[in-house]
Amino acid sequence: MIKNNEIDLAYIESNPILNKSLDFSIKIVEYCKILKYKYKEYNLTNQLIRSGTSIGANANEAVIGSSKKDFINKMNIASPC
């Protein structure tokens, strides 16, 4: 969770969905650095970073959602399938 613009890493590590989405986001950003600087793929990397990191953002929004229905809706958005 984010409180006062600080990420609570203990909370993320205790939540497997948030933990996996954070790891995935980090891997996406690292991969995009390679694509961008080695292969000069600027358009592809910009879209990949936006879509790859949005999973974690949507999962975090689901966790702090206001209701069960809101949680389910946001997790469906975060789902890569």
24, with CB counted inside 10 A (0-12, 13-18, 19+), is: middle
Query: Residue 10 belongs to a domain with what CATH number?
Result: 1.20.1440.60
Confidence (pLDDT) at 59: 85
Structure tokens at 22: 């954070």
Global model pTM greater than 0.95: no
Where in the sequence is the domain holding 54, given as residue range(s)? Answer: 2-78
User: Residue 4: which pLDDT band, with cuts at 50, 70 and 90?
Assistant: low
Residue 56 has pLDDT above 80, yes or no: yes
